[in-house]
Chains A and B, each alone.
Chain A
Amino acid sequence: MKDLTHIYELERLLQDAHNDLVRQARAEGEIAIGSVCSLIPEPLLNLPGCFSVRLRAPRTGSIEMGTYYMTSIMCEACRAILERAIEGGYQFLDCMLAPDACAQMNRCVENMEKLQLCSQEHFFVTYADVPMKSDESALRHYVRQMRQYVLNPLAEHFRIDTSDEALREAVSLHNRICGLLMEIAAFRAEDNPRITGYEFAVLCLATYCCPKAPLIPILEETLAQLPERQPDPHSSCRARVVLAGSEIDDPELIRMIEEAGALVVADRFCLGAFPGREEIRLRENEDVLTGICRHYMEGGQCPRFMNTEKIRDRHEYIHGLARRFHADGIIFQQIKFCDYWGYERAYGTRVMREQYGYPVLSIDRPYAVGNAGQLRTRVQAFVESMEIKKLKEKNVNLR
């Protein structure tokens, strides 16, 4: 297929946390907010005058210093981010607004704070308590916490406008990005999609890691290009999969999966499109902040939501994606040493296989995937097993 116009530009931006768009925004006086978790609603971090940068550690090699502070049995993503912070990779941040969500990411951020790894004079960190359930009590608490630990500090330290009008403007910007990405994602439901999972991941990830406004023209041009783009007549991918699980902040993992024969048609992981890029629908009779929090609470797919209804909803959500994008199977992946996804992956794999009848590949992986031969082999074997299953079904139908 012909290359997407902006793909190389976005790949280059993703090589560095302090990339050109971030530099440009800061030069224009905007506040850079470090984000480590989807449970702090993005619109609150992208009010007029500020922008969020989801922390990642691209091109990670050794994580020895991160391991020194956090031990070798903690999430590799958290260690890699701490390592990058120790190396000075996040000096540009004006603040970090973190939730008390995952204990390991908490330790990472606390280490960053204690070691004073961000050099901006006014740098500060807050920790908000975020819901573990989806109900009205949790929503009220969520709203109070976001007001106290996100909006108020932004207003006090940086004079950011946190009025309802500013929140609506932020939601509007967020929805514009989401709308464009979802229109692009719709092409992935085609029999022979004209955009690969890797390409989509690059587009989507850029919207988490860079200021959003400059990306709108890029996404619009990409969307305009797609209807004319001719897919390869014979794709090398022999099966379609929904990719679910923990953080994937390196599109190379998706490229590796697709090179092994599995086309990623939907991304149900942190930093993916589902649910992170679903538009926020505000209710008329509800204040804006509550509406935003309600969207993130009710739509959140993080395994940290522990009530039984949410656990069932997560499985149903993946099933919905698999149907919508005509997936043949599901790949559940997690970064090693993640407690949340260790349990969720085990249970989800069982449920999706036994109750929903999907072929499922369940893997845990290092943070830095590189050219992980073992991973590639497992995906290849999984693709073959799905092909065999399809052949058998075809034979049965013929008889």
Chain B
Amino acid sequence: MGKAMGSEPLGSFYCGKKAKKRREWRGLKDTWYDYVHWLGIWKTLIGFMLHLNNLRAFFRYRWMVNYLAVPDFFDRHTEGLRGTQLRITRTALELVVTDMCKSMGVMFRADPALGNDRALNEKLVVFDENMMSELMNGFPNLKWVSVEVPAVYTCAMMAQDSLFYYLDKAQEYGIPNDVCPMPAAEFGVALEDDYPRIGKCAVQCNTTCDGSLMGNGLMASLMDIPTFQLAVPIRHEEDSVQQYAAEEIRNAIAFIEKHTGRPLTGRLSLPP
């Protein structure tokens, strides 16, 4: 099949040792494109690590080591791709990387254990990874961050075995091994105190599932900042729940305003 599409046999390339010696051959133009962007990723990562806070974070937080797999992550997701497909995939994933670098840079700068930028910390609102960040568009003077995304979500994307340690910790605590591993891993990270302790306040929600609802509730008990748990109705497209959903968003806004001292600016388009 590889030969039919002008590719070298990818099974032998990526399972053998050849990938350690050279890039995948995709034809001259695409190989050059891929190589230049591969160098670009290294530039992004090295640039990220040159900031002292980020370097220290690498040794403070166990999950940071998984980001050594970022170049491999790109290679896994671009195996065999050519032309427009290759470019779309590279562009999309590079946006993820640059966004994550920015987000982690903010977190580590505000982190009392690292940058300890208290002025920045006063402007941070911690959102759980399923919480709808559009809400923060009404707070231009505040920043929202999600500590779970770099610690759990994107780590697992980079290295699929990245969360075993935290799952073990959650199970040692007593969480059964049959619950969904995503919230269990998030809880495991909290148990190990491996989240940056940042933010003026936090907003969680019950989505996407019962496991998230429960894991977030327990994490709120462990976190040391005021936390608002936003209840998202389950059948969210039904008319009968819209009023409550709107009320909960208003309650979340009031909570953020109270704890940050910043009012919501702009207009909200919500049912009454």
Whether A and B are associated in the same complex: the answer reads yes
Is B244 touching A306 in the complex (CB atoms < 8 A)? no
Knowing A308-B220, A308-B221, A347-B221, say if A342 contacts B175 (CB, 8 Å): yes
Near A by CB (< 8 A), chain B positions 27-73 give: none
User: Interface 1/0s, chain A 135-150, versus B by CB < 8 A?
Assistant: 0011011001100110
Chain B, Cβ-Cβ closest to A345: B174
User: Interface 1/0s, chain B 192-231, versus A by CB < 8 A?
Assistant: 0000000000000010011101111110110000010101
Is A339 touching B240 in the complex (CB atoms < 8 A)? no
Spot the interface stretch: A8-16, A30-38, A125-133. Answer: A125-133
A-B Cβ contacts below 8 A, count: 106
Near B by CB (< 8 A), chain A positions 50-106 give: 73, 100, 102-104, 106
A381 within 8 A of B: no
A356 within 8 A of B: no
B134 within 8 A of A: no
Chain A, Cβ-Cβ closest to B173: A346
| Shortest distance between the CB of B192 and any CB in chain A (Å) | 15
Is A306 touching B241 in the complex (CB atoms < 8 A)? no
Chain B, Cβ-Cβ closest to A147: B240
Knowing A127-B235, A144-B240, say if A308 contacts B214 (CB, 8 Å): no
Residues on B with beta carbons closer than 8 Å to the beta carbon of A137: 244, 247-248, 251
**Alpha-carbon distance between A311 and B221 when the two chains are bound, in angstroms:** 9
Residues on A with beta carbons closer than 8 Å to the beta carbon of B216: 306
Knowing A129-B234, A137-B248, A308-B220, say if A303 contacts B173 (CB, 8 Å): no
B113 within 8 A of A: no
**Alpha-carbon distance between A149 and B235 when the two chains are bound, in angstroms:** 13
Residues on B with beta carbons closer than 8 Å to the beta carbon of A349: 174
Chain A, Cβ-Cβ closest to B251: A137
**Alpha-carbon distance between A141 and B246 when the two chains are bound, in angstroms:** 11
**Alpha-carbon distance between A103 and B229 when the two chains are bound, in angstroms:** 19
A358 within 8 A of B: no
Name the one of B215, B217, B243 contacting A144, with C-beta atoms under 8 angstroms: B243
A362 within 8 A of B: yes
Name the one of A140, A307, A336, A340 contacting B214, with C-beta atoms under 8 angstroms: A340
Residues on B with beta carbons closer than 8 Å to the beta carbon of A312: 221
Spot the interface stretch: B86-94, B97-105, B176-184. Answer: B176-184
Is B241 touching A141 in the complex (CB atoms < 8 A)? yes
Residues on A with beta carbons closer than 8 Å to the beta carbon of B115: none
| Shortest distance between the CB of A113 and any CB in chain B (Å) | 14
Chain B, Cβ-Cβ closest to A305: B217
Is A308 touching B175 in the complex (CB atoms < 8 A)? no
Residues on A with beta carbons closer than 8 Å to the beta carbon of B210: 102-104, 304, 339-340
Is B178 touching A337 in the complex (CB atoms < 8 A)? yes
Residues on A with beta carbons closer than 8 Å to the beta carbon of B215: 343
**Alpha-carbon distance between A347 and B243 when the two chains are bound, in angstroms:** 33
| Shortest distance between the CB of A367 and any CB in chain B (Å) | 14
Chain B, Cβ-Cβ closest to A344: B214
A364 within 8 A of B: yes
Chain B, Cβ-Cβ closest to A135: B251
Residues on A with beta carbons closer than 8 Å to the beta carbon of B180: 339
Is A132 touching B231 in the complex (CB atoms < 8 A)? yes
B80 within 8 A of A: no
Is A132 touching B213 in the complex (CB atoms < 8 A)? yes
Residues on B with beta carbons closer than 8 Å to the beta carbon of A100: 233-235
Chain B, Cβ-Cβ closest to A103: B210
User: Interface 1/0s, chain B 229-269, versus A by CB < 8 A?
Assistant: 10101110010110110011001000000000000000000
Chain B, Cβ-Cβ closest to A144: B240
Residues on B with beta carbons closer than 8 Å to the beta carbon of A127: 235
**Alpha-carbon distance between A349 and B174 when the two chains are bound, in angstroms:** 8
User: Interface 1/0s, chain A 165-193, versus B by CB < 8 A?
Assistant: 00000000000000000000000000000
Is B174 touching A129 in the complex (CB atoms < 8 A)? no
A350 within 8 A of B: yes
Residues on A with beta carbons closer than 8 Å to the beta carbon of B217: 306-308, 311, 343
Is A129 touching B240 in the complex (CB atoms < 8 A)? yes
| Shortest distance between the CB of A5 and any CB in chain B (Å) | 42
| Shortest distance between the CB of A138 and any CB in chain B (Å) | 7
Interface centre among A337, A339, A350 (most CB of B within 10 A): A339
Residues on B with beta carbons closer than 8 Å to the beta carbon of A364: 176
**Alpha-carbon distance between A399 and B48 when the two chains are bound, in angstroms:** 64
| Shortest distance between the CB of B237 and any CB in chain A (Å) | 12
Residues on B with beta carbons closer than 8 Å to the beta carbon of A337: 178
Chain B, Cβ-Cβ closest to A306: B217
**Alpha-carbon distance between A100 and B215 when the two chains are bound, in angstroms:** 19
Chain A, Cβ-Cβ closest to B234: A100
**Alpha-carbon distance between A347 and B179 when the two chains are bound, in angstroms:** 14
| Shortest distance between the CB of B188 and any CB in chain A (Å) | 11
**Alpha-carbon distance between A131 and B234 when the two chains are bound, in angstroms:** 10
4 other A-B residue contacts (CB within 8 Å) besides A342-B175, A343-B214: A141-B247, A308-B220, A339-B211, A342-B176
**Chain A interface residues toward B at CB < 8 A:** 73, 100, 102-104, 106, 127, 129, 131-133, 137-138, 140-141, 144-145, 148-149, 303-304, 306-308, 311-312, 336-337, 339-340, 342-347, 349-350, 362, 364
16 A-B residue pairs with Cβ-Cβ distance under 8 Å, sorted by A, are A106-B234, A129-B240, A132-B206, A137-B248, A138-B244, A144-B244, A304-B213, A306-B213, A306-B231, A311-B217, A339-B209, A340-B213, A342-B214, A343-B187, A346-B175, A346-B176
